[in-house]
Amino acid sequence: MILSTKVMPDVIAYATKRMYLVADLYKEKANKSELTGDFLRKYPLIVWLASHGGEDAVIGPEVGQTVADLANTVWFNGKIVVINACLTGRKLAPAMIDSGARAVFAFTDLLTIRVDANTYEPLDGFKECLTKPEVLYDGVKAKDAYDATIAEYNKWIEAWDKVDPTTADILRADRDAFMMFGTGETKVVASTYLFMGLTDAFVIAYMVLWGILQSVKAILPMVRGK
């Protein structure tokens, strides 16, 4: 719940600002049918899985439902995957790499988040670290996105060491569990997302110009008639 309502909207906003088309499979949409449908229709370049996890699966909101597990790792062939879920770095992420994923970011131990007791807002640093791999949308290589995330963890650990060492220690545990699998050289090719962005911009510009042209066509005979 913290991940889906307090953390991931930031990633969606980041990607959207960079003109990526984002499909958000939230709550009841977080299931294998929706996932495979989206993969077939849109062919995503980067996939974020943010939920509860185990060594071999990312779990959906329904009891017994999995979104990704060892049976569907081949769906992630050719994609960069960021998994914000406990323990998935132990079996699921390596299995995705074996099935052809370009790079997978995942946690090999428990993913722990500290939140404000009243608002449930993540404490400073937790959201920033979990969302840091979003720099992938800027065309950054996977290994550089990983390094940037570790640097972000270290920055917040240092800050929390002065205020509350227990919180710093939890961030340390998250940092030490955060791993990158696959080739670090992979990145989202700039031309791919520029094309997608330009396509959107072109469609909007075309519709606006077409609307103006139709208005002129409609008004011109009336002006001439006067």
Please identify, using beta-carbon distances, which residue of 33 and 118 lies nearer to other proteins: 118
How far apart CA 104 and CA 75 sit, in angstroms, is: 13
Q: Is 179 in the site for other proteins (CB under 8 A)?
A: no
CB of 69 to other proteins, least distance (A): 16
Q: Site for other proteins (CB under 8 A): which residue of 46, 167, 186, 187?
A: 167
Q: Is 161 in the site for other proteins (CB under 8 A)?
A: yes
Residue closest to 180 by CA, chosen among 153, 132, 146: 146
Length of the chain as a residue count: 226
- List 59's β-bridge partners, or say none: 52, 66
Q: Is 40 in the site for other proteins (CB under 8 A)?
A: no
How far apart CA 113 and CA 174 sit, in angstroms, is: 9
Asked whether the beta carbons of 169 and 177 are under 8 A apart, the reply is: no
Which residues does 90 contact at the CB level (< 8 Å), separation at least 6?
55, 56, 108
Which residues does 148 contact at the CB level (< 8 Å), separation at least 6?
132, 133, 135, 140
Please identify, using beta-carbon distances, which residue of 175 and 187 lies nearer to other proteins: 175
Q: Is 108 in the site for other proteins (CB under 8 A)?
A: no
Q: Site for other proteins (CB under 8 A): which residue of 93, 104, 113, 142?
A: 113
Q: Is 19 in the site for other proteins (CB under 8 A)?
A: no
Please identify, using beta-carbon distances, which residue of 9 and 197 lies nearer to other proteins: 9
Instruction: By CB under 8 A, name the binding residues for other proteins.
Output: 2, 52, 86, 110, 112-117, 120, 123, 161, 164-170, 172-173, 176
